Amino acid sequence: MKYLILGASAAGLSAAGAIRRHDPRGEITVLSRDSQIYSRCLLPDVLAGKRGAASTCFITEDFMQKNRLNWAAGSIAARLLPEEKAVVADNGDKLYYDKLLIATGASSILPPVENIRRGRQIYGLRNLDDVSAIAGAAENCLQAVIMGGGLVGVDAAAALNEKGLSVTVVEVADRILSLQLDQKAAGRYEALFRDRGIEIITGEMVSKIVLDKKENVAGVQLKGGRLIPCGLVVAATGVKPDISFLEGTAVEVGRGIRVNEYQETSYPDIYAAGDVCESMETFTGKITTTPIWSLAVMQGKIAGTNMAGVRRKAAGNFAYKNSMTFFGLAAVSFGLPEAPDSSYETYILERAGSYEKIIIKDGRLKGAILQGDISRAGVLGALIREDYPVKVAPDKLFDLNYACFFRELENGEFTYQDEALTSK
């Protein structure tokens, strides 16, 4: 059996390991753009100079050899020929397969801004090449602008601040981290950033990149008219799945590649996992991309297991979870950061430097934010992820922890020790 895996990150290598566990003899080839294995989650630490690139490797030193992987590094898929069961790489090589996994991930996108173009002091933050380019540009300038105040943008801002640059974050929403945190929790981070000299501009957007006579970045102009001088721009305004090589094929795509619970695509013997695909997300019940590292690992494992002939379904495809720490302040969020309407109940507790918020609808937890003291994050996340009914007085919600309950396998019911929570 010939297995071909496109991509050598979390999903691709998790799949490779799963295939080898179930098929000790099959031939496994991994085609990837990168020639180094690294965790994308740790790129901001590399940019800040807190760690070297080698320390971001998430596999053991002997992983490739132990699993007998043929690693075709430094190349990407240019065209898929599903009728021939072949992939044409950008270097001209033609790779054949019996089973194919597409785990090509996603790339940062540039927003529609005048004079914007990738390179020449304008970069995304998605891979080690981006880190190297941003670090090089940072050595030749004093000011940087981050377009986008989501997790990637805020990570980039903190990293460049650590390198000594003057940094401005421009975010179109009314706060940074708007998909993860509410106004209060985001505001605490904004205050910390401003204390470090990072300017936060919300409710605005960049309308133009200002270039000098040599076509170098000299600043950005905001829609409201303000001009911000800078020599470096980091675009953190979103990503798109890398699926251009599928053009003209019958593989079904939406925003990403559509897969079922077995990580199978619409075309026989072709699977997809990680940021490149879209699947049923358990919290919303909707088909969507799920760009979470842990989910990429899980999906890759499920894909590899099924590719090797062992039928397994993906479970726990829960993408509404985030954790972060900036300048010593930790936060975790699950589900909704804000109540969508008056049918939801919201409870807030502030104590000893911590901020905690819980959102409930029809007796079930739908959102939680913990900032400062995050010790109870696990149990709240589990309640939201599993959609357990909650029967507890509002003033007791903030005291829930794993010691509150145990599991009884009686009549298929979960019963918790203080009878506060039950689920059938």
CATH number of the domain that residue 351 is part of: 3.30.390.30
Position 49 scores a pLDDT of 94
Are 372 and 275 part of one and the same domain?
no
Angstrom distances, CA of residue 152 to CA of 15, 145, 158:
26, 13, 10
pLDDT in tens, 217-268: 999 999 999 999 999 999 999 999 999 999 999 999 999 999 999 999 999 9
The values of phi and psi at residue 128, to 5°, are -65, -30
Are 171 and 130 part of one and the same domain?
yes
User: Which domain-ending residue is among 220, 235, 250?
Assistant: 235
* Confidence category of residue 396, pLDDT binned at 50, 70, 90: confident
User: What's the token pair of residue 216?
Assistant: 């170098």
Q: Collect all residues with Cβ–Cβ distance below 8 Å to 424 and sequence separation of at least 6.
A: 412, 413, 414
Q: Rounded CA gap, 169 and 15, in Å?
A: 37
Q: How many domains does one find in the chain?
A: 3
Are 276 and 367 part of one and the same domain?
no
Are 249 and 226 part of one and the same domain?
no
More confident residue, 118 or 317: 317
Q: Is the pLDDT of residue 424 over 70?
A: no
Closest-CA residue to 146 (of 230, 43, 28, 248): 230
Are 126 and 229 part of one and the same domain?
yes
User: What's the token pair of residue 65?
Assistant: 């050899």
Are 246 and 348 part of one and the same domain?
no
User: Which domain-ending residue is among 217, 235, 253?
Assistant: 235
CATH code (residue 279): 3.50.50.60
- Residue 390 has what DSSP assignment? B
User: Residues of the chain with pLDDT > 70: what percent?
Assistant: 94
More confident residue, 383 or 154: 154
Q: Is the pLDDT of residue 380 over 60?
A: yes
Within a domain: 410:
yes
Q: Rounded CA gap, 99 and 96, in Å?
A: 9
Within a domain: 183:
yes
Q: Collect all residues with Cβ–Cβ distance below 8 Å to 363 and sequence separation of at least 6.
A: 389, 390, 391
Q: Rounded CA gap, 161 and 46, in Å?
A: 13
Residue with tokens 């790129």: 43
The residue type found at 34 is D
Given its phi and psi angles, is residue 69 left (phi above 0), alpha (psi -120 to 50 degrees) or beta? Answer: beta
Are 52 and 67 part of one and the same domain?
yes
**Residue 200 domain boundaries:** 122-235
**Confidence (pTM):** 0.92
Q: Rounded CA gap, 257 and 250, in Å?
A: 11
pLDDT in tens, 106-125: 999 999 999 999 888 999 99
Are 53 and 126 part of one and the same domain?
no
pLDDT in tens, 39-94: 999 999 999 999 999 999 999 999 999 999 999 999 999 999 999 999 999 999 99
Within a domain: 221:
yes
Are 175 and 183 in contact by the 8 Å Cβ rule? The answer is: yes
Cβ burial of 364 (10 Å; 0-12, 13-18, 19+) is: middle
Q: Collect all residues with Cβ–Cβ distance below 8 Å to 99 and sequence separation of at least 6.
A: 1, 2, 3, 4, 269, 270, 271, 307
Angstrom distances, CA of residue 121 to CA of 61, 118, 143, 171, 255:
34, 8, 11, 19, 28
Within a domain: 361:
yes
Within a domain: 188:
yes
Within a domain: 321:
no
Question: CA torsion, points 183, 107, 145, 228, in degrees to nearest 10?
Answer: -100
Within a domain: 320:
no
CB atoms near residue 424 (< 10 Å): 9
Are 229 and 254 part of one and the same domain?
no
The angle at the Cα of 414, spanning 411 to 418, to the nearest 5 degrees, equals: 125
Strands 217-222 and 122-123: unpaired
Are 153 and 230 part of one and the same domain?
yes
Are 188 and 202 part of one and the same domain?
yes
CB atoms near residue 180 (< 10 Å): 22
Within a domain: 379:
yes
pLDDT in tens, 333-368: 999 999 999 999 999 999 888 999 999 999 899 999
Are 141 and 212 in contact by the 8 Å Cβ rule? The answer is: no
DSSP code per residue over 106-154: EEE---S-BT--SSSSEE--SSHHHHHHHHHHHTT-SEEEEE--SHHHH
Q: Rounded CA gap, 273 and 258, in Å?
A: 10
User: Which domain-ending residue is among 235, 268, 294?
Assistant: 235
Are 203 and 245 part of one and the same domain?
no
CB atoms near residue 83 (< 10 Å): 9
Q: Is the pLDDT of residue 409 over 50?
A: no
Burial 146-161 (b: 16+ CB within 10 A, else e): bbbbbbbbbbbbbbbb
Q: Rounded CA gap, 159 and 49, in Å?
A: 8
Q: Rounded CA gap, 331 and 89, in Å?
A: 42
